[in-house]
């Protein structure tokens, strides 16, 4: 069985999607539609913008989503996935890929998500850090024992967890985790504490938009960040998406469940190869690759 996986924020690069725009009429139509929906020329920023311009939250999230969804639209005409998953923002690309969300509705949600997260980031000094070389339980216990808000936010692969929360609490956690034997504890250049309780204002704002968006029956299961198991009912998809911004991204568990359910190969659709590397660390015997158009 083939699994399609979709990357999240951080995978963007200058010039992304330009090859698709130049080669495919359908891609040109989708980029033009996106410019109209968003009210600015995101295509121009994607093709010609600097790394700094692409780092703006209102640009980054729609840009990664657009690249992934347009690439999937072209590639999936050859073959359809048997299951899908997306890392954080990538879950929206996966929802379009399995037919649970329409392109236009998903793009609007992604844009609203980016704006809501930006606002939440400005409310409090917060950050994230990657912790390498420790057991999940050790990281969770250290976070739980610290006075401020700090939580395990991304379970990327065995021995790689991202923690998220108040700046002071994250730095304190990093000190303790280093003492406990972490190979590295690396602060990330992010705008705030994604997938932590500090995103609650953004979650509430996005929840209103999710509630008024139509979800469809997907043609294949999606393994969502919150549930980690195969989801096919629109009401369950909506509920999991509602919880996503403040809940951890359980990527390791999702990939393990996809393998258990029969995934024999993973195709990473979108910019970069980060997820391919994570899948290999979760199960080195897995076949991983990028779409060949």
Does 129 lie in the same domain as 112?
no
Active site residue 195: yes
Confirm if 149 and 198 have CB atoms less than 8 A apart.
yes
Does 224 lie in the same domain as 143?
no
Task: Assess if residue 160 is contained within a domain.
Answer: yes
**CA quadruple 257, 95, 208, 206: dihedral sign:** positive
pLDDT at 56: 85
Does 231 lie in the same domain as 112?
yes
Task: Assess if residue 44 is contained within a domain.
Answer: yes
What does the chain come to in residues?
Answer: 293
Domain that holds residue 182: 125-187
Measured in degrees and rounded to the nearest 5, phi and psi for residue 177 equal: -65, -35
Alpha-carbon distance of 27 to 66, in angstroms, equals 10
Confirm if 79 and 42 have CB atoms less than 8 A apart.
no
Q: Which of the residues 67, 87, 195, 254 is marked catalytic?
A: 195
Q: Which two tokens stand for residue 31?
A: 């980029």
Does 94 lie in the same domain as 218?
yes
221 half-sphere exposure, CB direction, 13 A CA radius: 17
Q: Write down which residue in 167, 187, 207 finishes a domain.
A: 187
Does 154 lie in the same domain as 92?
no
Does 182 lie in the same domain as 103?
no
Does 183 lie in the same domain as 278?
no
Does 208 lie in the same domain as 69?
yes
The CATH number of the domain holding residue 156 is 3.30.70.250
Does 65 lie in the same domain as 94?
yes
Task: Assess if residue 20 is contained within a domain.
Answer: yes
Q: Write down which residue in 138, 169, 187 finishes a domain.
A: 187
Active site residue 88: yes
34 half-sphere exposure, CB direction, 13 A CA radius: 30
Domain count, the chain: 2
Alpha-carbon distance of 219 to 228, in angstroms, equals 18
Alpha-carbon distance of 22 to 113, in angstroms, equals 29
pLDDT at 189: 82
Q: Write down which residue in 169, 187, 205 finishes a domain.
A: 187
Q: Which of the residues 88, 111, 227, 254 is marked catalytic?
A: 88
Torsion of CA 52, 111, 4, 188, to 10 degrees: 40
Strand partners, 157: 160
How confident is the prediction along the chain (293 residues), in pLDDT tens digits per residue? 999 999 999 899 999 999 999 999 999 999 999 999 999 999 999 999 998 899 888 899 999 999 999 999 999 998 999 999 999 999 999 999 999 999 999 999 999 999 999 999 999 999 999 999 999 999 999 999 999 999 999 999 999 999 999 999 999 999 999 999 999 999 998 889 999 999 999 999 999 999 999 999 999 999 999 999 999 999 999 999 999 999 999 999 999 999 999 999 999 999 999 999 999 999 999 999 999 98
Task: Assess if residue 151 is contained within a domain.
Answer: yes
Helix axes 136-145, 167-179, angle to 10 degrees: 130
User: Look-up: residue for tokens 């659709």?
Assistant: 269
Does 206 lie in the same domain as 88?
yes
Does 102 lie in the same domain as 8?
yes
Count of CB atoms within 10 A of residue 2's CB? 17
Q: Which two tokens stand for residue 252?
A: 């390791």
Task: Assess if residue 192 is contained within a domain.
Answer: no
Does 265 lie in the same domain as 201?
yes
The CATH number of the domain holding residue 247 is 3.40.366.10
237 half-sphere exposure, CB direction, 13 A CA radius: 28
């Amino acid at each position: 069985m083939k699994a399609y996986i979709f990357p999240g924020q951080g995978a963007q690069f200058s010039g992304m999607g330009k090859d698709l725009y130049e080669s495919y009429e359908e891609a040109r139509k989708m980029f033009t539609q996106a410019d109209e929906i968003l009210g600015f020329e995101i295509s121009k920023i994607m093709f010609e913008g600097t790394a700094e311009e692409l780092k703006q939250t209102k640009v980054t999230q729609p840009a990664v989503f657009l690249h992934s969804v347009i690439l999937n639209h072209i590639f999936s005409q050859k073959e359809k996935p048997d299951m899908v998953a997306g890392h954080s923002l990538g879950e929206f690309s996966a929802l379009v890929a399995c037919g649970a969300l329409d392109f236009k509705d998903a793009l609007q949600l992604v844009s609203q998500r980016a704006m809501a997260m930006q606002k939440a980031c400005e409310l409090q000094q917060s950050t994230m850090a990657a912790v390498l070389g420790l057991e999940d339980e050790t990281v969770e216990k250290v976070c739980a024992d610290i006075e401020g808000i700090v939580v395990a936010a991304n379970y990327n692969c065995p021995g790689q967890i991202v923690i998220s929360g108040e700046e002071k609490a994250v730095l304190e956690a990093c000190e303790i985790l280093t003492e406990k034997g972490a190979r590295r504890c690396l602060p990330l250049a992010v705008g705030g504490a994604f997938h932590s309780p500090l995103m609650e204002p953004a979650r509430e704002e996005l929840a209103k938009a999710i509630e008024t968006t139509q979800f469809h029956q997907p043609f294949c299961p999606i393994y969502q960040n919150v549930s980690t198991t195969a989801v096919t009912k629109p009401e369950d998809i909506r509920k999991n998406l509602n919880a996503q911004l403040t809940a951890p991204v359980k990527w390791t568990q999702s990939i393990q469940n996809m393998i258990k359910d029969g995934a024999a190969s993973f195709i990473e659709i979108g910019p970069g190869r980060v997820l391919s590397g994570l899948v290999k660390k979760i199960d080195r015997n897995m076949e991983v690759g990028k779409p060949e158009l």
